[in-house]
Structure 1
Amino acid sequence: MVQKDARFHIGQIVKHRIFPFRGVIFDVDPVFDNTEEWYEAIPEAIRPSRDQPFYHLFAENDETEYVAYVSEQNLLADDSGLPLRNPQIADYFEVNSDGRFLPKDIPLN
């Protein structure tokens, strides 16, 4: 298995390449690290390779907010400047004067 450096970083706003949602990255797995059921639920024609970074996002679309798990190949940087409304963002990030999301110091249990 080939591991590569992640193209995106924690606190970066990204959008999905195919589906209409965007969000802020709050964690990165260097390779796929979710359930087999989750992976198999993706249609084979668009199923991403496991040996790439996968990102955890506080995501949102026009209807709702949620947590998403997305392969690097399906993400693009989002430089639209549009605000994000996912309420979980405030628990993990502070926004600096440049509008960048900076991780808060959160104690690990």
Structure 2
Amino acid sequence: MPHRLCGPTRTEHGQMSEQQARFSVGQVVHHRKFGYRGVIVGVDPEYRGTEEWYRIMARSQPPRDKPWYHVLVHDASHRTYVAERHLEPDSSGEQIDHPDLGRFFDTFERGFYRCRSKRQ
């Protein structure tokens, strides 16, 4: 099942529980290894990429059976796909600068972005 961006993530058995995902859509995070900040725009309950991408890009071999996150990278124009173990909450309280931010979110408050309503 494909991931959902800026909305609840669902599994075969219903909605993914809060216990399964440590971070939520709209939360600003920090990458532990590479030091960049970003905002989560989607959550997969487990790795949903290709075998080839995992082999080439996920060299530290993070677990595939744990949540993976779609993240808009601060001060960049790309999105990245990150294993949960590489992320931590961002404590700066600062907003993210990304050209696609407005496609997903409409407001920022206390370290979180709120998803745009579907009517906008």
For the aligned pair, the TM-score class normalised by the smaller chain equals 0.7 to 0.9
2:66 is aligned, of 52, 55, 71, to 52
Gaps of 5+ in 1: none
Runs of 4+ displaced beyond 2 Å: 96-100
1:39 is aligned, of 54, 66, 69, to 54
Which deviates more from structure 2 when the two are superposed, residues 13-22 or residues 95-104?
95-104
Partner of 2:13: none
Gaps of 5+ in 2: 1-15
How many aligned residue pairs are there? 102
Change (3 A) 1:96 1:43: closer
Q: How does 1:90-109 map to 2 (within 5 A)?
A: 90-96=102-108, 98=110, 100-106=112-118
In the alignment, the residues of structure 1 paired with residue 109 and residue 29 of structure 2 have an alpha-carbon distance, to the nearest angstrom, of 19
Contact 2:47–2:68 under 8 Å retained in 1: yes
How far off is 1:105 after superposition? Answer: 2.2
SS at match of 1:37: helix
Select the structure with the greater relative contact order (CA < 8 A; seq sep ≥ 6): 1
TM-score of the superposed pair, with normalisation by structure 1: 0.82
How far off is 1:25 after superposition? Answer: 0.5
Cα deviation, 1:67-89, whole Å, max 9, x if unaligned, reads 01000000000020222110111
Partner of 1:29: 44
Does 2:81 align with 1:66?
no
Does 2:28 align with 1:18?
no
Q: Which amino acid aligns with 2:71?
A: L
In the alignment, the residues of structure 1 paired with residue 115 and residue 48 of structure 2 have an alpha-carbon distance, to the nearest angstrom, of 22
Does 2:20 align with 1:5?
yes
- Over the matched positions of the two proteins, sequence identity in percent amounts to 36
How far off is 1:99 after superposition? Answer: 5.6
| RMSD of equivalent CA atoms | 2.1
